[in-house]
Amino acid sequence: MSRIADFGYCFGKRVFSISKNLVMHIERRDFLSTLTMASAATLFSGNPLLASLAPKKEKLGIALVGLGYYSTDLLAPALQLTEKCYLAGIVTGTPEKAQTWKAKYKIPEKNIYNYQNFDKIADNPDIDIVYVVLPPSMHREFVVRAAKAGKHVFCEKPMAPSVADCEAMISACKTNKVKLAIGYRCQHDPNIQAYMKVAKEKKFGKVMMVNSAAGYLDNRTTHWKQNKKLGGGVMGDMGVYALQGARLATGEEPVSVTALASTTRPQIYNQVEETMMFMLDFPSGARAACQTSFGINMNHLQINYEKGWLKMEPHSGYSGNKGSMSDGTIINYPIQNQQAKQMDEDCLAIISGSELIAPGEEGLRDIRVVEAIYKSVETGKNVKI
């Protein structure tokens, strides 16, 4: 009863979904009759029994926080393709952007927020999920505020600049009984799942060595990626893909790391690293050599097992990830839109109350290693994780 009590009561003609900072008012008539009404799924999420009984909301409303390149060029277009969610609102610090988006995507004025009035989103039943697409240094604040507003949260990678931030974000979402998914596209990609499966099923025996590289030539100079205070540096950005290449290829968490940071463009990369190379040890004895850079176009993964190999190129691209194995197996699943697939699957998990593919804990696993990598660079030594 206590779990049910956490999630909602029928009370006369209204249903109150009660959590610490969330009171949603839903007309009973609407509650029973419509599948598109906001918060119905939210109301029942987290409780499998209730979820199975609850009317399913077909499309959850997403509010994008931060309207930079990734929101503009990738998430918003993807949200035109999604089946389980739609672009319901925006949160931006730039009024001009608000007007452009409002017109382009027919977003109601009431679903447009700025960073100051953002917390009022708690009262907006159109918004089920807040997707935080801000610079990493702002993730903690906005994830916590979204959680306190009773909204489920999607958070872009890197999850945050520190383990402490990640833990605070996970804790806030738990306390407020909302889900937290990290915007990891790759784990939703069947091409990536294919090599994760090889490790899990030990198709070629144990994983012995992984080579994983992810980078691109970034010619911007004043983006958050070049700014330390905003959570920049290649390690959290592209580096997480190189790291995931190793983590997902082994199915293990590394126990130690040795890392080297460097730059060939010190005039630009004077606050954060342009390139990071790191070597990981895993509990099974598997090892990985990973490289990431804002100065090098590269995206490849090679896994050498006891009795074979698997290679991917690209392995963490927005599209076209593909690979082959030593037994002749080809990995080449076409995906219409990675971001749409990611958001749809995360929404489905929220609607059905099932496990998220990449919850906050998965983001934390990466940041734990990222933090150790920076410590290794700082000390010039191998660092236990």
Whether 203 contacts 380, CB under 8 Å = no
Minimum distance from residue 198 beta carbon to a copy of itself (Å) = 16
Whether 47 contacts 70, CB under 8 Å = no
Q: In the complex with a copy of itself, which residue's Cβ is closer, 297 or 336?
A: 297
Minimum distance from residue 342 beta carbon to a copy of itself (Å) = 27
Give the pair of three-digit tokens for residue 11.
Answer: 């009370």
Which residues partner with 62 through β-bridges? 87, 129
> 24 exposed, middle or buried (CB, 10 Å; 0-12, 13-18, 19+)?
buried
Minimum distance from residue 277 beta carbon to a copy of itself (Å) = 5
Q: In the complex with a copy of itself, which residue's Cβ is closer, 74 or 260?
A: 260
Q: In the complex with a copy of itself, which residue's Cβ is closer, 108 or 285?
A: 285
Q: In the complex with a copy of itself, which residue's Cβ is closer, 20 or 307?
A: 307
Give the pair of three-digit tokens for residue 75.
Answer: 């998430």
DSSP code of residue 314:
S
Q: Is 157 a catalytic residue?
A: yes
In sequence order, what E strands does the chain have? 9-11, 14-19, 22-27, 60-65, 85-91, 112-113, 129-132, 152-155, 180-182, 207-217, 256-262, 275-281, 287-293, 295-305, 308-312, 323-325, 330-331, 383-384
Q: In the complex with a copy of itself, which residue's Cβ is closer, 42 or 212?
A: 212
Q: How far is CA 172 from CA 32, 72, 147, in A?
A: 31, 28, 6
Minimum distance from residue 266 beta carbon to a copy of itself (Å) = 11
Minimum distance from residue 324 beta carbon to a copy of itself (Å) = 11
Active-site residue among 241, 269, 305, 374? 241
Torsion of CA 282, 284, 287, 292, to 10 degrees: -40
d(CA 6, CA 26): 16
Helix then strand then coil, % of the chain, to nearest 5: 35, 25, 35
Active-site residue among 157, 311, 322, 341? 157
Q: Is 206 a catalytic residue?
A: no
d(CA 164, CA 351): 29
Q: In the complex with a copy of itself, which residue's Cβ is closer, 120 or 307?
A: 307
Q: In the complex with a copy of itself, which residue's Cβ is closer, 171 or 262?
A: 262
Distance of CA 40 to the CA centre of its chain: 24
Minimum distance from residue 299 beta carbon to a copy of itself (Å) = 9
Whether 343 contacts 154, CB under 8 Å = yes
d(CA 46, CA 234): 35
Minimum distance from residue 238 beta carbon to a copy of itself (Å) = 13
Q: In the complex with a copy of itself, which residue's Cβ is closer, 163 or 209?
A: 209
Q: Starting from the edge strand earliest in sequence, which strands make up the sheet with 323-325, in order?
A: 330-331, 323-325, 308-312, 295-305, 207-217, 287-293, 275-281, 256-262, 383-384
Whether 66 contacts 133, CB under 8 Å = yes
Give the pair of three-digit tokens for residue 103.
Answer: 């017109």
Give contact residues for a copy of itself (rule: CB under 8 A).
Answer: 208-209, 211, 213, 215, 258, 260, 262, 264, 275, 277, 279, 281, 285, 287, 289-291, 293, 295-298, 300, 302, 304, 309, 311, 380-382
Minimum distance from residue 36 beta carbon to a copy of itself (Å) = 48
Q: Which residues are annotated as catalytic?
A: 157, 241
